[in-house]
Amino acid sequence: MNRLTAVPNLLSLDAVTVGLVWMSIFSIQFLNRWPHGYEYISIGGAIWIIYTADRILDGLAVTDDVTATERHRFHRQHRRRMTLLWCVAVTTVAWVAATAATERQLRGGILMIAFAICYLVSAQWLNRARTLTPKEFRAGILFAFGVTLTCWTSTESPPLGSLAICTFLAAGLFTINCLLVSTLEIKIDSVQGSDSLARRIPLRTASQTFWIVAHAITTTGALVTGHAPTAIAFSILLSDACLFAYAHKVLRPDPTCGRFVQHAGVVRSHAALKASLADASLIVAPLLWITVS
């Protein structure tokens, strides 16, 4: 995989970008303003902290004879540096939040920290167990509430009913994204014995299409009935279209799927590049709306 293309995925910058873009569209729509600088730092930093912590912990279990993704081997090889950066990020986010956030935002942030800790514990110590909610659902829900936290904790009184519906729809979108990515890594999950929805229910193109179309129909219904603002509904529907194309073009049957090549101590695969494309599918729509509006 091209080195430049690998950087965002290895450093979790693609997830941070997705989070900040969606936080922007929600804030513009429900609060009639762009997020403040400290909100970008707090939410973006929190996303990076959670992703990086998860990968550092995953890297601890990686050995030379264990099949693993490139990002997990990267965090194993650079564990000390990434841990140092992680500590700097935690300190920075804590200081910014403590000095700039409102009391309601701090309370909401503490609640999200509790949820994030629960997610990390479940992802690390229950990943081999068949839990009631697969990891894709937990990740999608946590991500959705994270990017909408500024709206939920705002004193500007956004319409809570519409915000709840849009948060639910965003959680569905992020869950589908996680589901498609886990489909790419199903062979690794099988080797490691990790649980995932992709392993529970073998997802073929038809079933992937069903979930995406069902989500798009639900979003359209919310738009038509006036429960979802046009900007949010447009961004979600176009993202669904991007994921639909992704599922049919990128995740189509490939004889090289699951083929891993050992190079310089790192296991590389087509899945790494495809995972970045999945995240890119979530960025296009809100960026397009923000640009033209």
Distance of alpha carbon 205 from alpha carbon 103, whole angstroms? 46
Q: Residue 47 contacts by C-beta under 8 Å, 6 or more apart in sequence? A: 12, 15, 16, 19, 143, 146
DSSP 66: S
Mean pLDDT of the chain: 82
At 265 the pLDDT is 37
- Phi and psi at 131, nearest 5°, equal -80, 165
Average pLDDT over residues 155-170: 92
Distance of alpha carbon 250 from alpha carbon 256, whole angstroms? 12
Instruction: Report the candidate in 240, 221, 235, 127 with the shortest Cα–Cα distance to residue 180.
Output: 240
Q: Residue 13 contacts by C-beta under 8 Å, 6 or more apart in sequence? A: 7, 48
Cα dihedral 13, 14, 17, 19 sign: negative
What is the largest distance, in Å, between two alpha-carbon atoms of the chain? 55
At 261 the pLDDT is 36
Band of pLDDT at residue 74, cut at 50, 70 and 90: confident
**Could you read off the pLDDT of 12-55 as tens digits, one per residue?**
899 999 999 999 999 999 999 999 999 999 999 999 999 999 88
Do 220 and 237 meet the contact criterion of CB atoms below 8 Å apart? Answer: yes
- SS3 category, 185: coil
Distance of alpha carbon 234 from alpha carbon 256, whole angstroms? 35
Band of pLDDT at residue 123, cut at 50, 70 and 90: confident
What the block records as the tokens of 158 is 């956004």
Going from the C-alpha of 250 to that of each of 22, 76, 180, 274, the distances in angstroms are 23, 28, 10, 7
First to last CA, the chain: 36
pLDDT at 169 over 90: yes
